[in-house]
A and B are shown apart, each in its own frame.
Chain A
């Protein structure tokens, strides 16, 4: 391992320490050290996987990409049949002594498949065909994950196609334009804006504006406008088709005060926890919000609230810097490698780290929906920990082969 990645490894080591300590702090009162010990073991396995993967040859990884993707799709289908999970969901394979979450593995598999596809097609510029195919690659696992149902996982996997396409040189405006149907949904379904007529007005203004700025090909304009209007017309029905608890969680984001003790309860409690940490925090292991059991899933999705409460602004900013340093460093490697496949792999890994940090920390602060996503490298969880460390293995492998084409 060359000197340039040493800082990355040191930061990963620090993140691992933060992970184990904060998991211990959130669980020792009721469960003793069991969770922290298990997490340490998961990190150990993750490191072994990272080292193993970092020694794999470029050709091997590239050749295996579609195979891994296929295996991941099969697992996602299988988990819908024999899976288990909370509230009658089907998210895990339960082997008794451990649980495996195929949606975590799908994140890695989707990155590899997208990287392989994009590195093998050389069309430049805003090609609709590449967009459709890339979105299809990401949408298949995303839809399967959505069906579990796991909204957070589905959004992250489905969204992966966009940074990857951006990496391939497409203009950001074009990609934003392609997302118009989603904006149509948000604005006209009554989710974000209660008054649906006002929503429609906003949406039409947006559509006209972006069309004017972008000067896209007529065929694409017709397609997107037709699609957006179609989604807009059926958005309300689609929305009502979601599971009530999924709807509630998204709604909670927009109506926090109204739902103070309802679905927004968790988000608000988490925010109180973080805020009450003030500058230096209440001290490690001394959190009271945490100890009262008011913040749910505090060793998994809401671990950041424990860090915020116990170590204050200084601790939470430092944790954030550690994590974002990892993503910046990974993007840095992406900018260094010559091989296109590895370039995309690194870009995908950087993106998925960044997206998850944003959604998870945002959720802890009450600014993004409570969707159930882990904080990479920190949250408790075997599948996500091992997968994230494995992803770093790919980045290390890419860095080692950065001069190869």
Chain B
């Protein structure tokens, strides 16, 4: 029996007992209401609940537009009509499915499959998106026999820019069952979600918020007397506009210059990190996904050996070839292994290391070079001798410091990092003592195991051009409509590179384009000095990859371009002319207004 009475009470009525009595009273009150509603008025409520053939239909929010820097629409929305059906009732009605299949010109199994995903739900599921007017009228005409079918207006993604922007923009597709399970409050089966590119990364701002309205559906075909037009409905909130840094003209130029060849072009603002264009070839048609891709189309894309879904600028790694001589030279300078004036043994077309002969790309040789000329003429023998003296760990740690094997953290998804090996890597992959210092000679000219993405390489070049720091590359300039745009503030990465090193690398790169001996005279622009580096990288998949990475103007850099063509031959001969055409267009347009595209 309780001893403590909690105060002055000494009777049976202690506060805990009174509270227990209060519990009983509350029970009695609530039980009374339950009795009244469920037993006394139960039949009435049951009647009323049968009249409730009203369902909540989602009102899809229009997806935010994606526009280029000049507000040209690259991804928009157009109104379309989707045929929806209530899974729970439709699945029980075979005649209805047969009729619907005939009208929509699809298999009955297809309809059953679409509805079975949420088979026990009264929430309408999309059967067919974006139907044409004829089909729509046919369905409307037969509506008396299609009592569980409704037509829902739904905005569909359109891409006025077409395929040329696909890797930058990405696409939208239906959510998977797993995604619905993971975030059930946000997605329902059949919802669209951004995939790849800006569409995926900025899905939160683009997608907006879904609304709903109450719609009458008669499950037994009978008329429903209650007017539910005034039940609450919530308007959808459209997604926000996303404005890219990209310029449509540059993007289209880059795409046309690739001209169907496998490869990519990245154009960056040197000082801002803005992605002015990002073109990767082959392309795919993003509109195929917008209304739910057919399995035949999907098979075509997935089984294409050229893998069109890959964004080659960020998702593929390549041996950098001679473009990496910039890094090797940088490491040599930073570790005081070499100075601008350092000369090694002259180049006679090859170099002997132990019992092996390492060839220079130019059979007749380059003679004697200092470091700047070594870069300008891209002399392999010069860099073999630098690599021979270089510590693998220095090569590794500076490469890492300068971000070459790293992700750049650009604001589009699925970026991969490259590879720069170190001692540990070789020990693990080749075994301790199973590899020789000879590997350093190959690494020095960007061959062997080193791999980079085109984007990380051009970021490094931006850093060199920009006095030792580069802005993290970003595709999106601002979010929101005119008037309340929120601008993306770039973040800067410091290369921690000395002034001398920067000056030597810059001079070497200027020589590559401007010097008579340079390997990329094709990238010259009248009236401006261009600096760049060519690369021709051997790879196990066939012909050499052609590289060219450059920036201009030399004194006050604005624009950086990286061109990579897979299995296309010499960087100077194939890649540099493309960059040259882009640069000449860029400066002509900037200085003189209208310019015809080359």
The interface of chain A, by Cβ under 8 A from chain B, is 27-32, 34-35, 124-125, 163, 166-170, 261-262, 265, 269, 271-279, 288-289, 291-294, 308-309, 312-313, 316-317, 320-321, 324, 327-328, 331-332, 334-338, 340, 343, 346-347, 350-351, 354, 357-358, 361-362, 365, 367
Given A272-B45, A335-B17, A292-B52 contact (CB < 8 Å): yes
Q: Give the residue among B6, B8, B39, B43 with the most A Cβ atoms within 10 A.
A: B6
Which residue of chain A has the shortest Cβ distance to B55 in the bound complex? A292
Q: Among A34, A35, A292, which residue has its beta carbon within 8 angstroms of that of B56?
A: A292
Are B43 and A332 within 8 A (Cβ)? no
Are B33 and A34 within 8 A (Cβ)? no
Are A320 and B37 within 8 A (Cβ)? no
What residues of B have a CB within 8 angstroms of the CB of A166 in the complex? 15, 18
What residues of A have a CB within 8 angstroms of the CB of B120 in the complex? 28-29, 291
Are B46 and A278 within 8 A (Cβ)? yes
Q: Give the residue among A30, A292, A357 with the most B Cβ atoms within 10 A.
A: A292
CB A280 to nearest CB in B, in angstroms, measures 10
Interface stretch, picked from B90-98, B132-140, B227-235, B400-408, is B227-235
Given A30-B188, A313-B38, A365-B37, A327-B23 contact (CB < 8 Å): yes
* Number of chain B residues whose Cβ lies closer than 8 Å to a Cβ of chain A: 58
CB B351 to nearest CB in A, in angstroms, measures 55
Are B37 and A275 within 8 A (Cβ)? yes
Docked Cα-Cα span, A168 to B7, in Å, equals: 6
Say whether B437 faces chain A, with CB atoms less than 8 Å apart: no
CB A360 to nearest CB in B, in angstroms, measures 10
A-B contact pairs, 20 of them (CB 8 A): A27-B184, A30-B188, A167-B15, A167-B19, A265-B231, A271-B45, A274-B34, A275-B37, A275-B49, A276-B45, A276-B46, A277-B38, A288-B50, A293-B56, A308-B38, A313-B38, A324-B23, A324-B27, A327-B23, A347-B6
Are B4 and A316 within 8 A (Cβ)? no
Are A30 and B118 within 8 A (Cβ)? yes
Task: Convert B27-64 into 0s and 1s, putting 1 for each residue whose CB lies closer than 8 angstroms to a CB of A.
Answer: 10011011101110111111011101111100000000
Docked Cα-Cα span, A170 to B35, in Å, equals: 35
Q: Which of B339-394 contact A (CB under 8 A)?
A: none
Q: A30-B118, A272-B52, A292-B52 are in contact. List 13 more A-B contacts (CB 8 A).
A: A32-B181, A34-B184, A35-B184, A124-B7, A124-B8, A163-B19, A167-B6, A169-B7, A293-B56, A308-B34, A335-B14, A347-B15, A365-B37
Q: Among B17, B38, B55, B189, which residue has its beta carbon within 8 angstroms of that of A312?
A: B38
What residues of A have a CB within 8 angstroms of the CB of B4 in the complex? 337-338, 340, 343
Are A328 and B23 within 8 A (Cβ)? yes
Are A331 and B20 within 8 A (Cβ)? yes
What residues of B have a CB within 8 angstroms of the CB of A170 in the complex? 7
Q: Among B20, B42, B44, B230, which residue has its beta carbon within 8 angstroms of that of A328?
A: B20
Which residue of chain B has the shortest Cβ distance to A290 in the bound complex? B122
Are B31 and A335 within 8 A (Cβ)? no
CB A372 to nearest CB in B, in angstroms, measures 16
Given A124-B8, A274-B34, A278-B46, A31-B184 contact (CB < 8 Å): yes
Which residue of chain A has the shortest Cβ distance to B43 in the bound complex? A278
Which residue of chain B has the shortest Cβ distance to A327 in the bound complex? B23
What residues of A have a CB within 8 angstroms of the CB of B228 in the complex? 261
Are B48 and A272 within 8 A (Cβ)? yes
Docked Cα-Cα span, A324 to B181, in Å, equals: 34
CB A87 to nearest CB in B, in angstroms, measures 10
Which residue of chain A has the shortest Cβ distance to B42 in the bound complex? A278
Which residue of chain A has the shortest Cβ distance to B46 in the bound complex? A276
Given A261-B231, A272-B49, A275-B46, A324-B34 contact (CB < 8 Å): no
CB B118 to nearest CB in A, in angstroms, measures 6
Are B34 and A313 within 8 A (Cβ)? yes
Given A335-B16, A340-B4, A354-B22 contact (CB < 8 Å): yes
Docked Cα-Cα span, A354 to B188, in Å, equals: 36
Are B8 and A29 within 8 A (Cβ)? no
Are A357 and B26 within 8 A (Cβ)? yes
Docked Cα-Cα span, A273 to B45, in Å, equals: 8
Are B15 and A169 within 8 A (Cβ)? yes
Closest 6 A-B residue pairs measured CB to CB? Answer: A169-B7, A275-B45, A335-B16, A276-B49, A278-B42, A31-B184
Docked Cα-Cα span, A334 to B189, in Å, equals: 50
Task: Convert B281-302 into 0s and 1s, putting 1 for each residue whose CB lies closer than 8 angstroms to a CB of A.
Answer: 0000000000000000000000
What residues of B have a CB within 8 angstroms of the CB of A338 in the complex? 3-4
Docked Cα-Cα span, A321 to B33, in Å, equals: 14
What residues of B have a CB within 8 angstroms of the CB of A278 in the complex? 38-39, 42-43, 45-46
Are A293 and B55 within 8 A (Cβ)? yes
Are A354 and B23 within 8 A (Cβ)? yes
Say whether B88 faces chain A, with CB atoms less than 8 Å apart: yes
Docked Cα-Cα span, A258 to B189, in Å, equals: 37
CB B231 to nearest CB in A, in angstroms, measures 5
Which residue of chain B has the shortest Cβ distance to A334 in the bound complex? B16
Say whether B507 faces chain A, with CB atoms less than 8 Å apart: no
Are A29 and B121 within 8 A (Cβ)? yes
Say whether B123 faces chain A, with CB atoms less than 8 Å apart: yes
Say whether B2 faces chain A, with CB atoms less than 8 Å apart: yes
Q: Among B42, B46, B56, B182, which residue has its beta carbon within 8 angstroms of that of A294?
A: B56
Docked Cα-Cα span, A309 to B232, in Å, equals: 22
Are B49 and A336 within 8 A (Cβ)? no
Are B48 and A276 within 8 A (Cβ)? yes
